[in-house]
Amino acid sequence: MIKYKIFNVTQLATNCCYLIDEATGKSAVIDPGDKSDELIKAIEADAGSLEYVILTHGHYDHIAYAKKLADLFNAKIVTGERNNDFLSNSQLNLSLFHDIFISPFSADILLNDNDKFMLGETEIKYLATPGHTVGCGSYISGDTIFSGDTLFCESYGRTDLPTGNDKQMLNSLKKLKNLPGDYTVIPGHGPATTLEHERKYNPLMRSL
């Protein structure tokens, strides 16, 4: 079972999530789009046992501090297989257009749809949810979905950026909608929500 804390980073208010497996103390960070001294202090206070840096997709506001954070704590970078090209391509990750330099890097662990991995004693499942980009994915742990820029509270990620696709976004939202039961949803930006709330009030998800 995990507990998590959200650190707000970047000028775009990215939700950077710090996950801790309660049984073992092993931890992971999702989408470190920029340095957070508060986050680093939290990891150090927990004996620095950072296992993974997990990326939902490859835009600069979600990946810019990923490699530095991983190197700092000797953690492995995890992302979807189709997201890996974004980590080394400044046009795809949009850093080129925002005067931000990100040294090209590659993930250590590449996932395909429905792959699972363990954080301590906690299972994390990867779902490919393209649409915002071709490499977008969501992560499920217990009753929580970390949805990146696929599903927002009563909204969804834009599809007009490189590799974005309206049809893929529809399919990804339908995929999430059809998951059995309810989940807390932590999006890449904005407030947390629940899957049941989105089924009822998200305009696009309601139409599927």
Mean pLDDT across 141-157: 98
**Number of compact structural domains in the chain:** 1
pLDDT of residue 47: 79
**pLDDT tens-digit profile of 115-147?**
999 999 999 999 999 999 999 999 999 999 999
- Tell me: pLDDT of 75 over 80: yes
Query: Which residue intervals of the chain are DSSP H helices?
Result: 37-45, 60-63, 66-73, 166-177, 195-201, 203-206
pLDDT at position 83: 98
In what order do the strands lie in the sheet containing 193-194? 116-119, 122-128, 137-141, 144-148, 184-187, 193-194
- 64-76 mean pLDDT: 98
d(CA 119, CA 153): 27
pLDDT band at 66 (very low <50, low <70, confident <90, very high): very high
- CA–chain centroid gap for 150, Å, is 9
What is the share, in percent, of the chain residues with pLDDT greater than 90?
A: 96
Residue 48 pLDDT greater than 90, yes or no: no
Cβ burial, residue 97 (10 Å; 0-12/13-18/19+): exposed
Residues 6+ apart with CB under 8 A from 16: 6, 7, 8, 9, 29, 30, 31, 32, 33, 34, 36, 39
| pLDDT tens column, 2-23 | 999 999 999 899 999 999 999 9
Quick check: 104 and 86 in contact, CB under 8 A?
no
For the chain, the average pLDDT equals 97
What does the pLDDT average to over 44-58? 93
Q: CATH number for the domain including 168?
A: 3.60.15.10
Q: What is the mean pLDDT of residues 189-203?
A: 98
Domain that holds residue 100: 2-206
pTM: 0.97
In eight-state DSSP terms, residue 123 is E
Cα angle 72-78-80, degrees, rounded to a multiple of 5? 150
Beta-bridged to residue 141, according to DSSP, are 144
Residue 37 CB partners (closer than 8 Å, separation 6+):
none
pLDDT at 64 over 80: yes
> Does residue 45 register a pLDDT over 80?
yes
Q: Between the CA atoms of 111, 117, 119 and 125, what dihedral angle is there, to the nearest 10 degrees? A: 80
Q: Which residues, 6+ apart, have CB-to-CB distance to 39 below 8 Å?
A: 7, 9, 16, 18, 29, 32
Mean pLDDT in residue range 99-115? 97
Q: Which residue has the tokens 């309810």?
A: 182
